[in-house]
Structure 1
C-alpha cells in the first residue's frame, strides 16, 4: 500500500501527466452533464414514468449502455458516440476491402487525415439517419411525454438537429481527449457511459439481497466471482503468442545493426469486442419480424439472455464473427512483406509465401480458443443470473460488451500512465515495474 501511495504521488508530481488527467476528467464531466439534458419538447417527468413501465433488450439496450442511459432519458446525447463508431467500423472495413482506401492508408500522416475527415462526414450521415429513426421511436414508445405544443414537423426538425449536433460534440470531446488527454477518447467516453450505470445496478442488487436473510453472503460471493471474471478477462485481452524473429546483421560505417533475436506478438483475441457487438445486432434482427403469439415467443427467445437457445446461437455467431473479423483486419501477407523489407525472418521458415502461410496457420490455431473464450464471456451474464438469481441490471456487468470494454480501456489507460512514469525513471504501477502488454523495444513493431 505504501508503494502504491508513492506511485500516486509520482503521478501527481509530473506536471504533464497531471494536466492530461485533469483535462480528461473535465471533458468526461462535460459529457456526463450533457447526458442528463433532455431534448426540447420532451417532458422529463412523464418520460421517467413511462420508462419505468418499459423494458429494452437487444440492440436498443446496447445503444443505451454505450450512451450511459442517455438513450432512455431522451437526452441531447441520446445517440452518444455510436454513429461515430459505426462510421469508423465502415471505414476500417473499407481500408481492408477497397484498394483506394488501402492506398490512402499507406500515405502516412496525410492519408490518416483524409481517412479521419471521411469518417467525420460519414458520421454526420449516419447520425441524421439514426436521428430520424430515434424520433419515430420516441413517437411510438414515449408519445405522451412529448409536449403537445410542439408540432410534428417542428419536433422532428429540432430533434434531428440537436441529436446530430450532440453526437458531433461528443465526437469532438473524444478526439480532444485522445489528442490532449489520457487514453483513447472514444473508448473512455463509452466506458464512462457504462460505469455510470454501475452504482445504480450495485445498489439494486444490494437492496435485493438485503431483503432476505442470508443473501448478504451470496452478495459477497458475487463480488468475489466478479473479481475473478475480471482477472480472466485481463488474461484474454493481453494473451499473445510470441513468434521468434531474427534480423540479419547489417554494418553501416563502423556500426552494426540487427542480429538481435526479437519476437512477433500475435494476439489471441485480435477481434476485440467487435464479434460480441455484431452478434447482439444479428440476434436482434429476428425480433423485428416476429408477429403473433408464436412470434412473440420467438422474439423473447432471441432477447432473453438466460435462454439456452439464445446462449447456443449467440456462441456460434460470436465464434463465426471472430474468425471473420480477424481475417478482415489481420493480413499475414503484409506482416511477411514487412519482415522481408526489414531483413527479418522466422527461424526455420523461408521468407515470402512460406512465412505468410506459417503466420496464418498460427493465427488460425490461436483464434479458435480466443473465440471460444470470447463467446463464454458473452454468455456469462445469463449464466451468472441463472446461477445466483441476481438482478438483470447487475448481471450485465459480469460479462459481454460492458466487461470487455471496461477492462480493455482501463488496461490501455494504465499502460499509458506507466509509460509516462517509466520515461521519467519512476517505478511502474505494478510490483514488477511493468504492465504486461505494454510495447517495449523487444517487440517487433508491425
Structure 2
C-alpha cells in the first residue's frame, strides 16, 4: 500500500507548483544546465573533416561507436567537445565501487560517513580524468588511421584532442554535480537522459522514412510504436515493484512512558542494479566489432570470425548478451546491497524480522530473498533488452527504440518526478507548520 506521503504527493497540482519558488528556481537551473550541455554537443574539436567523419560514423553505426553515440546525443558522431560524454565518470565510479570490496582503505573510507564519501568522490574524479585522457588518445589515434578524417595528423592533433575531450568530460562531471546540488534530479543521469531524448525525434523521423521508402510496412511501424509503449509500461511496473520484508520493533520505555512496538518494512527493489547490466553487456559484446571495423579487415582471422558470430541479432550474440546481463545484475546488486550490514543495523536499533533470529540468521534470510528477486530482475532486464534488440537487428529500427534507451529514459523520468513531488510535499508541510504556529500565536492572550 502507498504511504500517506505518496498519496498526498500524487494529488499535487500545478497550483502548488506555481507557489513553490525554490522548486521553480531549481527546475530553471536544471533546464539551463541541460541547454549548455546540448550546445556543447555541437561544438566540434579542431582538425576534423566533417564529411569524412560522417561517412565513418555511418559505417560503424552497428558497433560500440553507434551505441555510445546514442548516449551522447550525437556528440560522438560530430566529434564534439562532449564526445566522451559522462561515460568515463560512470566507469570510474563503478571501478571505485568495485575496489571498495577488495581495498581495506576504501572500505574504511566508506564507513567514515560524509568525510569518507568526499574522499571517495575525489578518487573518482581523478579516475575520470585518467580514463577520459586514455579514451581521448585512443580516439585520436583511431581517427588518424581512418584516412582523410584528420586534416593534419600528428602529435599536435593528438594533444589537442586529449585536452579538449578530457576537458569536456570534466566540465560535464562538474555540471552534473551542480545539477544534483542546485537543481532537480541526479545530474549525471539527466545528462545521459538528455542525450538519448535529443535523438528520439530523429529516430522517429528515420522510422517514418523507412515506411515511406517501403522498407517497413505501415503495420510494422504501428507495431513498433505499440511495442515501445508496452515496454515503457512494463518498465514502469517493474521499476516500482518491490518485496517488502516486515520489520518489528519491540516495546521501549522512556522515563515513565511506555511506547508500543512498531511495525515497519524493509523495501527490496526487484531491479536493484538499475541500467548498469545492459550497458556493460552491450559495451563488452560490441567491442570486437568496433576493433574489427577500425582494422578494416586487416586483423587476424580469429578476430574476423568472432566479429561475424557476434553480429547484432546473431544467436551467439543474443545468448552471450543475456548471460552477461544476468551476471552483471547479480554482481552489481551484490556490490550495492550488503545484507550483513542491513542485519547489523537492524540489530543495533532493536529491529527484527518475525520468526528470524537477529544477526547472522537475519542476514542469511535477507540474502535469500534478495537472490530470488534479483533473479526476477535479471530476467526482466534480459527480456527488455533482447526483444527490442531482435527487432532492431532484423527490421533496422533506430537504436533509440531499444530496451536500454527506454529503460534509462523511463527510470530517470520516474526518479526526477519523485524528487519534484518530494520538494512540493516538503513545501506543503512547511506551510502547514507555519499556519499552525500563527494560529498558536493568535490564541495567546
2:248 partner SS: strand
Q: Deviations over 1:342-370 (max 9, x none)?
A: 10000000111111111111111111121
Between 164-173 and 219-228, report the one with greater CA deviation: 219-228
1:126 aligns with 2:134: no
Tell me which residue corresponds to 2:50. Answer: 44
1:7 aligns with 2:21: no
Tell me which residue corresponds to 2:6. Answer: none
Alpha-carbon distance in structure 2 between the residues aligned to 1:369 and 1:35: 38
Note the C-alpha offset of 1:301.
2.8
1:329 aligns with 2:336: yes
In 2 relative to 1, CA 240–392 (structure 1 residues): closer, same or farther, beyond 3 Å?
same
Tell me which residue corresponds to 2:434. Answer: none
1:137 aligns with 2:142: yes
Are the counterparts in 2 of residues 204 and 391 from structure 1 also a CA contact under 8 Å?
A: no
Q: Deviations over 1:156-188 (max 9, x none)?
A: 111111111111111111000000001000000
1:67 aligns with 2:72: yes
**Which of 374, 378, 387 does residue 385 from structure 2 map onto?**
378
TM-score for both structures, normalised by structure 1: 0.87
Note the C-alpha offset of 1:391.
3.2
**Which of 162, 165, 177 does residue 164 from structure 2 map onto?**
162
1:227 aligns with 2:229: yes
1:344 partner SS: coil
Are the counterparts in 2 of residues 205 and 390 from structure 1 also a CA contact under 8 Å?
A: no
Are the counterparts in 1 of residues 97 and 335 from structure 2 also a CA contact under 8 Å?
A: no
1:103 partner SS: helix
Note the C-alpha offset of 1:296.
3.0
Tell me which residue corresponds to 1:415. Answer: 418
Tell me which residue corresponds to 2:438. Answer: none
Tell me which residue corresponds to 2:310. Answer: 302
2:100 partner SS: helix
TM-score for both structures, normalised by structure 2: 0.87
In 2 relative to 1, CA 214–84 (structure 1 residues): closer, same or farther, beyond 3 Å?
closer
In 2 relative to 1, CA 12–302 (structure 1 residues): closer, same or farther, beyond 3 Å?
farther
- 1:141-152 matches, cutoff 5 A: 141=146, 143-148=147-152, 152=154
Alpha-carbon distance in structure 1 between the residues aligned to 2:199 and 2:257: 58
Q: Deviations over 1:15-48 (max 9, x none)?
A: 1111111100101000010011000112334433
Alpha-carbon distance in structure 1 between the residues aligned to 2:108 and 2:125: 19
Tell me which residue corresponds to 1:437. Answer: none
In 2 relative to 1, CA 158–174 (structure 1 residues): closer, same or farther, beyond 3 Å?
same
1:83 aligns with 2:88: yes
Q: Deviations over 1:200-241 (max 9, x none)?
A: 110010122234499334423322221111011112222211
Alpha-carbon distance in structure 2 between the residues aligned to 1:99 and 1:247: 33
Are the counterparts in 1 of residues 392 and 402 from structure 2 also a CA contact under 8 Å?
A: no
2:171 partner SS: helix
Q: Deviations over 1:289-322 (max 9, x none)?
A: 7946775353133131x22221122112211222
Tell me which residue corresponds to 2:270. Answer: 268
1:392 partner SS: coil
Segments of structure 1 that go 5 or more residues without pairing to the other structure are 427-446
Alpha-carbon distance in structure 2 between the residues aligned to 1:294 and 1:94: 33
Alpha-carbon distance in structure 1 between the residues aligned to 2:249 and 2:361: 17
In 2 relative to 1, CA 137–8 (structure 1 residues): closer, same or farther, beyond 3 Å?
farther
**Which of 35, 38, 43 does residue 32 from structure 1 map onto?**
38
Alpha-carbon distance in structure 2 between the residues aligned to 1:123 and 1:165: 11
Are the counterparts in 2 of residues 96 and 329 from structure 1 also a CA contact under 8 Å?
A: no
In 2 relative to 1, CA 5–423 (structure 1 residues): closer, same or farther, beyond 3 Å?
closer
Tell me which residue corresponds to 1:181. Answer: 183
Alpha-carbon distance in structure 1 between the residues aligned to 2:286 and 2:226: 32
Alpha-carbon distance in structure 1 between the residues aligned to 2:11 and 2:223: 29
Between 340-349 and 321-330, report the one with greater CA deviation: 321-330
1:312 aligns with 2:314: no
Alpha-carbon distance in structure 2 between the residues aligned to 1:214 and 1:325: 39
Alpha-carbon distance in structure 2 between the residues aligned to 1:55 and 1:130: 17
Alpha-carbon distance in structure 2 between the residues aligned to 1:316 and 1:6: 43
Alpha-carbon distance in structure 1 between the residues aligned to 2:379 and 2:288: 24
